[in-house]
Every structure is written in structure tokens, then in C-alpha cells.
Amino acid sequence: MHYHFVVNPAAGRGQAGPLAEALVQALRAAGAAGSLYITTAAGDAAAHVRSLEVDALDRLIVIGGDGTLREVVNALPPPIPWPVGIVPMGTANVVGRELRMPLDHQAPALVHALLHAKPWPVDVLRITHPDGTVEHAVANTGVGLDAEVVHAVSRVRAGGAGGYLRWMRPILDSLSSFRFPPLRVTLDERVTYAAGACIVQNARNYGGVFELAPGAALDSGALDVMLVRTRTHRGLFGILFSALMRRAERNHDVKFVRATHVRLRSATRVPVQADGDPAGWTDVQIEVVPGALTLLRAP
């Protein structure tokens, strides 16, 4: 079995590279083959994945965060020809948590998880922009406040470095200045809701510390759509608190609906985020693509 690592060297406060070397050595000691590629800039991971021969590896492993994983997932049209794993070294590590990967950056535990991980066919979110451009996300897509925060954070993030403490100022600035856009959210081309924000979930976890949609699953074949109905900052903080306490579905300021196709429109230009990275502006269409990606889930 050949494990090939795509490494974001800025991840884990610069510890991703040394950890990758340790993982390759440990895999070789266990009788598996290992190789690695260190990325040098944004977009390099995708370019490298596109250059790989299909039979050159058996497992493609990302060492980094959800953003690096999304870059790899968007490198090729789905389905990607290898099972994809992640060694989570980002800030939120949403997908890594869904895959039950160890978060302590210890090589023995990670090697054990990789060697015993099972291929898991999961869905992806296909995002279509007004100009016809298509991209994909794994965990979630948001329009409104969370996207405002992501766009603000991206302006202060250098080379992938960051963390919640460094990003606190743009987060607080976004919260204080946020004005609720008049979103129209159409589900499955049948029913339209008005909302001040919307998060389309493919995963249960959100942001590493919140649980927005307890019924969401990467292989459900559907999207769990959270519609924010409040138009006050007090209501927003109430939603955040209930999500932190894993009771978001009980909050009267949100509505959860399941769908396979979501159309998000607004009279004004509203930012969009996908897996914690900026993903353009409204209007957008989001639809689930069942079984379009195979991930490696730890035992």
C-alpha cells in the first residue's frame, strides 16, 4: 500500500513537515510505502494532484486543514481516483473530526489510524456560480454572517497561518458590523424561504466547536439547510450559544430543512464561504452529489 502525502507546511504552526517525515518513516517500518510533497503556495496542492499518475499511489493523504483538503478535492473532477485521507492540522478540522482522526499530532496514533482506516464513499456539495464556474465543498457552505467572517479572516491570514486568537479581531469586527441581507432560499425548486443567513451542512460538526445539524452525515445523500430567521445581533448570539451547547435545532430563530438542491439569491452581493474559505458571492446554487468522493475513516 502506497500512501502519498500532500503537506501544507504552514499547518500546525509549522509542524506539518516534520510530522509528515515521521509518518512516512513509520509507515515504511510497518511495511507500507510512503512519499510526500510539500506545497509552496496557494494552488500548488491542486496542481500537484493533477500531475499524479493514477497508478502511482493507493492512498492520497492531506496533512493540513479543511482548506487544503478542499483544494485537493477541487483539483480533479469527481470522483477522485484514490481514497483521500486527512491528518488534521488546521484550526477547525471539521472533516478530520468526522473521520475520527486523532487530533494530537502523535505519529504512532496517526499511523495506526491510517493503516486501519476504511474507504468511505461520501457526498460532496457542488457549488455553481452565476458565470457557470463550478467548485466543490465537503463539509458546508454558508451565506451571510459566517461567510462575512471567513472573508474577513482571509484578509489577515498569511500563508495559511492563523488560529482563533489571531482571527478574533476580524471575527468581532464582522459580528459588530454585520447587516442581515435579504436572502431568498429556494429548496428543490419547490419552496422559497426568506432568511438573514443560511448554512448548508453536509457534516454534523461546524467550525470545530459547534454542532448545527445533529442529523447531518457525509453519506446521507441530502443537505441539512439551516435558515437564520432572526434579524437581531442578540438573536445571532443566542443561535451561537445554542449551537455550542448542541441544541441549535431547539432555537426558535432557526429553521432546519432537508433538501438536495439549494438556490441562494439576494438583491445585494452577499459573500459565500465553502469549507471555511471564501467562495465568491451570491447568487449561487448548491446541490448534493452522492458518493462523489471516497474518504478514509479511522476505526
Question: Is the same domain home to 67 and 157?
Answer: no
* Residue 269 forms part of a structural domain: yes
At 19 the pLDDT is 97
Question: Is the same domain home to 66 and 135?
Answer: no
The set of residues, in sequence order, having a beta carbon less than 8 Å from that of 29 and lying 6+ positions away, is none
Looking up residue 36, the CATH number of its domain turns out to be: 3.40.50.10330
Q: Is the pLDDT at 141 greater than 60, yes or no?
A: yes
Last residue of a domain, one of 116, 151, 177: 116
* Residue 6 forms part of a structural domain: yes
* Residue 7 forms part of a structural domain: yes
Question: Is the same domain home to 56 and 134?
Answer: no
Last residue of a domain, one of 116, 134, 152: 116
What gap in Å lies between CA 144 and CA 199, rounded to an integer? 8
- How confident is the prediction for the chain on average, in pLDDT? 92
What is the total count of domains within the chain? 2
Q: Is the pLDDT at 167 greater than 50, yes or no?
A: yes
At 159 the pLDDT is 45
At 157 the pLDDT is 64
What gap in Å lies between CA 185 and CA 192, rounded to an integer? 5
Question: Is the same domain home to 82 and 192?
Answer: no
Q: Is the pLDDT at 47 greater than 70, yes or no?
A: yes
Question: Is the same domain home to 108 and 152?
Answer: no
42-46, 228-232, 285-289: least confident range = 228-232
Question: Is the same domain home to 136 and 218?
Answer: yes
**Mean pLDDT, residues 97-120:** 96
- Look at residue 34 and give its three-state secondary structure: strand
Question: Is the same domain home to 110 and 149?
Answer: no
**Grid cell at residue 279:** 467562495
Question: Is the same domain home to 184 and 100?
Answer: no
Question: Is the same domain home to 89 and 159?
Answer: no
Q: Is the pLDDT at 161 greater than 60, yes or no?
A: no
Residue ranges with strand state E in the chain: 2-7, 33-38, 59-64, 84-88, 118-128, 134-137, 140-143, 183-187, 191-195, 197-201, 205-206, 210-211, 223-228, 254-259, 261-266, 271-274, 277-281, 284-297
Q: Is the pLDDT at 181 greater than 80, yes or no?
A: yes
For 23, the domain range is 2-116
Looking up residue 265, the CATH number of its domain turns out to be: 2.60.200.40
Last residue of a domain, one of 88, 116, 144: 116
Q: Is the pLDDT at 220 greater than 50, yes or no?
A: yes
Question: Is the same domain home to 204 and 156?
Answer: yes
* Residue 297 forms part of a structural domain: no
pTM score above 0.95? no
Angle, helix 164-177 to helix 233-244, in steps of 10 degrees: 140
Question: Is the same domain home to 216 and 243?
Answer: yes
* Residue 299 forms part of a structural domain: no
* Residue 59 forms part of a structural domain: yes
**Grid cell at residue 126:** 457542488
- Look at residue 132 and give its three-state secondary structure: coil
